[in-house]
Amino acid sequence: MTWRTERRRRQIADKGRMMRLMRADQSQSVSVMAYAPPPQASQLADGVARAPFVAQIGADEVTAAAYMPKPRDRVEDGPKTYTLTDATPVYDGPTICGWTLIAAGGN
C-alpha cells in the first residue's frame, strides 16, 4: 500500500460519515465510510446545491462485502437518498484503492 492509499484512508476517516450503498432493488447493501465535500459557492443557487452529489469511499468495505458500485445503485446519506449516475474506481498503481460515487437526487 502506498502513500496515496493511506492519504485517502486518512481523509475519509477524518472527514467522512457513515453512508449506506445499496442496489436499486435493495437486494444487497453495505455500510461505508464516505467523504462528501460540501458544495462550493459557485454550485449553489438560491441556497440550494445544484451540483451532483459526489462522495469518495475506500475500497475496503465494498471489497469485503463483494460489492461493486454501479450506476442506478442508491446511496443513503442520513435522511437523503441519491441515485448513482456513475461509480468510478480510483487506482493506486494496478490496485483499486477507492471509488468516486457521483449521484443525483436527494429525496
- pLDDT, tens digit, for every residue of 26-81? 999 999 999 988 766 555 555 555 668 899 999 999 999 999 999 999 999 999 99
Buried b (16+ CB within 10 A) or exposed e, 45-72: eeeeeeebbbbbbbbeebeeeebebeee
In the block, which residue shows the cell 459526489? Answer: 54
**pTM of the predicted structure, to 2 decimals:** 0.83
Q: How does residue 2 score in pLDDT terms, banded at 50, 70 and 90?
A: confident
